[in-house]
Structures are given as C-alpha cells and as structure tokens.
C-alpha cells in the first residue's frame, strides 16, 4: 500500500526539485561540526547533501521513494544535525519532527516566505534560534527566491528585533480621531 508521505510527495511536483552541488556545499560549509557528530539527510533525493557531508562525521539518510522507502516522520533516533532541502509542501510538520530528534541544530532551504508565525513559534518553544540566513535564487527552480536557514539549539535568533505582527489600521484611525 502506498504510504501517505509518498502519496503527498508524488502529488506535489515542487517537492521533487533538486539542489545544485555548489549550493548544497555552501549550506554544509556554514556549519561547524565536531568529530563523531551525527548527521541526517532527511530528504536524500539523489544524495547531493549526503554525499557532501564531511567524512569525519557519522551520516544517515531517509528518502521516501523507492528503492529506499524510509520515511523521515518514522525516524525516531536522535541526531546532532540535519542539513538538506526539504519538500516545501510540508515544512510545518517537518519543523515539528526535526525539533524532536535534533540535538544541536539543522539547516533547511525554504521558500523566501517560508518563516510563518507558526514555524517561528515551533523554534521558540523548542529553544532553537535562527543563527544564520542566506537569500538566493536558483534560476531553474520556481522563479521565487529561496532562503537557507541555520538553526541551533539553545541559541538566540540573530534578528534585529523579535518577530511580531504590526498593525497600521488602528494607528491611522486614532490619528484621524485626534485631528477631528
């Protein structure tokens, strides 16, 4: 029987785009690893992240497609790091599972608009801070910009000020009332 995860992956063609090797290497190189750290490529694809992780760390992978059929959401072992390009249609559940199994941190490529309030809250509730962010295009992807975020456990966000919602309407209506 076809699993829910595999069905979802097949139904979303944007979930099956592949990362240029140079970009995967730039993402990996933005982390500092310790000897014997463990790392998971949670969304292996053709292995562009997995094959470029440093040699002195222990690596593992999950990939839902044949011949592997290893579902990330069923992976229950703890790992120090995850660095990869995940399927964009399920980023919130991916964040939820990631914060449960990662000891030190993770790096994900996301759409440029990918940091919703809910996802930021998942990071905050689980003591992960965004400690690095890059912004770029891959010209043969979708036409919208993408970001790479580096998240580390027990670190603060490197934002200039905390993420929050602002509202302009009340300010305008109050100032109109004041001038009446």
Asked if 107 touches ligand SAM (CB under 6 A), the answer is no
Crossing angle of helices 117-125/91-101, nearest 10°?
10
Q: How far, in Å, CA of 179 to CA of 171, rounded?
A: 12
Residues 46 to 85: which contact ligand SAM by CB under 6 A? Answer: 46, 48-49, 62-65, 71-73, 84-85
Compute φ and ψ for 110, nearest 5 degrees.
Answer: -135, 160
Q: Which is nearer to ligand SAM, 33 or 73 (CB)?
A: 73
Q: Which is nearer to ligand SAM, 45 or 129 (CB)?
A: 45
Q: How far is the CB of 53 from ligand SAM (least distance, A)?
A: 12
Burial pattern 29-53, b for ≥16 Cβ within 10 A else e, equals eebebeeebbbbbbbbbeebbbebb
Out of 7, 36, 39, 45, point to the residue binding ligand SAM (CB under 6 A). Answer: 45
Q: How far is the CB of 153 from ligand SAM (least distance, A)?
A: 22
């Amino acid at each position: 029987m076809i699993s829910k995860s595999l069905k979802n992956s097949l139904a979303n063609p944007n979930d099956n785009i592949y990362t240029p090797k140079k970009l995967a290497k730039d993402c990996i190189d933005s982390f500092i690893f310790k000897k014997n750290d463990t790392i998971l490529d949670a969304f292996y694809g053709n292995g562009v992240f997995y094959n470029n992780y440093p040699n002195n760390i222990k690596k593992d992978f999950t990939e839902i497609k044949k011949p592997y059929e290893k579902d990330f959401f069923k992976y229950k072992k703890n790992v120090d790091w995850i660095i990869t390009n995940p399927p964009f249609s399920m980023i919130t559940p991916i964040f939820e599972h990631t914060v449960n199994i990662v000891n030190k941190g993770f790096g994900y490529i996301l759409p440029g608009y990918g940091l919703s309030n809910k996802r930021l809250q998942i990071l905050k509730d689980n003591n992960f801070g965004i400690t690095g962010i890059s912004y770029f295009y891959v010209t043969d992807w979708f036409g919208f910009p993408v970001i790479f975020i580096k998240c580390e456990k027990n670190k603060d966000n490197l934002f200039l000020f905390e993420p929050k919602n602002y509202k302009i309407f009340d300010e305008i209506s109050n100032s109109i009332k004041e001038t009446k």
